[in-house]
Amino acid sequence: MLQSVRSAFEYQGQKCSALSRVYVSASVWNSGFKDQFLEEIAKIKVGPPQDFTNFMGPVMWASLLMIARALLISF
Tens digit of pLDDT for each residue in 21-65? 889 999 999 999 999 989 988 998 988 889 999 888 888 788 878
pTM, 2 dp: 0.64
Q: Is 46 exposed, middle or buried (0-12, 13-18, 19+ CB in 10 A)?
A: exposed
| pLDDT in the model for residue 27 | 95
Could you give the count of Cα atoms lying within 13 Å of 72 in the half-sphere of its Cβ? 6
CATH code that applies to domain 2-74: 3.40.309.10
- Residues 6+ positions from 43 with CB-CB distance below 8 Å: none
For the chain, give every domain's residue range.
2-74
* pLDDT higher at 10 or 55: 55
